[in-house]
Chains A and B, each alone.
Chain A
Amino acid sequence: MQHHKYLENFLRALGKPLVVFVSRIGELSEFIAKSLYHCVTPPFYPKLLLRQIIDIGFYSLPVVALTTIFAGMVIALQTNAGFSSYGAESAIAEVVLISVTRELAPAFAGLMVAGRIGAAMAAEIGTMRVTEQIDALSTLSTNPFKYLVAPRLWAGVIVLPVLVMIGDVIGIFGGYLVAVYQLDFNPANYIKTTVNELQWIDLYTGIVKAAVFGFVIALMGCYNGYRSKGGAQGVGEATTNAVVASSIIILIFNYVITGLIFTK
């Protein structure tokens, strides 16, 4: 008898969050399906896409540059510390190359853009939601998914890979700076090793990750903004949720994509 009671209470306690979780997954899936549909069906808004590309890309360049240059620099230092001084000279360039292009540039660019852009998107769309601007779009026969969501998703997928490629160059340059000016290694050797060791899979891994991260950041920004309610506080929550969710998803997907590409 007693056991049944416990079980019942247990299931009940489990039930509510579970129902919320499942309905949230359902809601998100519906949002994704709708977004994808509206991303590929006209009308398109090239001007809005261009504005998003500039917002996401151009203004994120400084933070991406700063984070990747220091990432490249620190990797160079660690590699030097970990290898004997004879082995380090040849290893540094390669280790910097691989870690920056495959892991660090995409992860740092992703996290930085998630903080800057994911938050801004959630705040902007959330404000439009609670001030009824999204309803106003609909009453003017404009689909909010096409007008607001699609340009942001496209921009995320297009811009992040470009940012990551720029981050690759800057990160490798950071490694070069440390190797040449701090550790006094031969600059010509560094460049030669980098060029020789550069493989298609390095670039390709970073770019695939970047495109996925760009999509995730824009999606979380739009989704959380879109469903926000209850005035300024609701918008604040949406902003936080967008950044936290996209950061976590980025780190998980980073692992998953590496696993998919490199596990034989």
Chain B
Amino acid sequence: MEKTVNKIEVRDLHKAFGRKRVLNGVNLTVGKKESVVVIGGSGTGKSVLIKCIQGLITPDSGSIKVDGIETVGAPRKESEKLYATMGMLFQGGALFDSLSVWENVAFGLMENQKMPRRQAREKAVEVLRQVGLGADVADLSPAELSGGMQKRVGLARAVATRPDIIFFDEPTTGLDPIMADVINDLIIDSVKKLGASALTITHDMASARKIADRIAMLYQGKIIWDGTVAELDRTDNPYVRQFVNGSASGPIKVEI
């Protein structure tokens, strides 16, 4: 029987820091070429979840399969190949401030794929153009760019190595609504162009609606709801309703 393998399959994932349980049995799948958005409040463990998937944080227990291959507890060398097919746009950009913009974008190409410098630079300028930046920014340092431009460079760096899976950590947080929408369009565009799967975490509902094929909500260490955007608007799950409506009253209590 031919079974279609999910791109990412997370089962019963646990992670605690000291006594603080952050992930408490997360189940989540991302299909091939699917764009999944995980929503949830600040500090609920969204970043921890995607860092576990990328091997940046070692989970306490559970299973994470990438292309059907288990990575939890697997030898680092083998998982390394899977991690190499991933790209990530970090929340704060995480651009290397000791390198120029184009060196940031071309980093994976030069360090990993051993592309010669001149060729890597050409490639970087091309990818920068795809995210709406001119060749004139290529030689600037990341610190000289605005927040929106840094996000674009981060996006360019994430897609330059043509990954199969791209992670977006709060791609629109801290941007004005118009710039946020521009970034949303760029995300949709780049993911589609690459034919990649995408896993985005955000608490920006406008962004979630726009880029998601499917939305999942993380609350108290678990995925408590999972469905399409249309289903999101019809659900009577009180937690989801409260989050979507951005209401202070409801079952979700904010710890102050």
Contact = CB atoms under 8 A, between A and B. Distances in A.
Interface of A: 127-128, 131-133, 135-142, 147
Interface in B46-98: 51, 54-56, 80, 83-84, 86-88, 90-92, 94-97
B64 to A, nearest CB: 15
A136 B94 contact: yes
Contacts of A133: 94-97
A234 to B, nearest CB: 15
Contacts of B51: 135
Nearest to B86: A139
A141 B107 CA distance: 10
B55 A140 contact: no
A187 B256 CA distance: 75
Contact of A141 (B80, B91, B94): B80
Interface in B20-51: 51
Please report whether the interface of chain A is mostly helix, strand, loop or mixed according to DSSP.
helix
8 contacts: A132-B91, A132-B94, A135-B51, A138-B83, A139-B54, A139-B88, A140-B108, A140-B161
A133 B94 CA distance: 5
B136 interface: no
B236 interface: no
- Most chain B beta-carbon neighbours within 10 Å: one of A127, A128, A141, A147: A141
A235 to B, nearest CB: 13
B112 A139 contact: no
A142 B108 CA distance: 8
A139 B56 contact: yes
A141 B80 CA distance: 8
B90 A132 contact: yes
Interface residues of B, number: 23
A97 B97 CA distance: 45
B107 A132 contact: no
B250 to A, nearest CB: 31
B94 A135 contact: yes
B38 to A, nearest CB: 18
Interface string B105-117: 0011001100000
Contacts of A136: 88, 90, 94-96, 157
Contact of B111 (A128, A135, A140): A140
B177 to A, nearest CB: 25
A141 B96 contact: no
Nearest to B154: A136
Nearest to A140: B108
Nearest to B92: A131
Contact of B55 (A127, A131, A132, A138): A138
A137 B90 CA distance: 11
A136 B107 CA distance: 10
Contacts of B94: 131-133, 135-136
- Most chain B beta-carbon neighbours within 10 Å: one of A131, A140, A147: A140
B112 A142 contact: yes
Contacts of B97: 127, 133
Contacts of B92: 131-132
B45 to A, nearest CB: 16
A214 B51 CA distance: 34
B91 A139 contact: no
A138 B52 CA distance: 13
Nearest to A135: B56
Given A135-B88, A147-B111, 10 more contacts: A128-B96, A132-B92, A133-B95, A133-B96, A138-B83, A140-B108, A141-B80, A141-B83, A141-B84, A141-B108
A54 B51 CA distance: 35
B132 to A, nearest CB: 21
Contacts of A127: 97
B89 to A, nearest CB: 10
A12 to B, nearest CB: 17
A133 B93 CA distance: 8
Nearest to A127: B97
A136 B86 CA distance: 11
Contact of A142 (B95, B111, B157): B111
B96 A139 contact: no
Lowest 9 A-B CB distances belong to which pairs? A132-B94, A136-B94, A140-B108, A139-B88, A141-B112, A141-B84, A132-B90, A133-B94, A135-B56
Nearest to B96: A133
A230 B26 CA distance: 26
A153 B95 CA distance: 24
Contacts of B88: 135-136, 139
A141 B111 contact: yes
Nearest to B169: A132
A135 B97 CA distance: 14
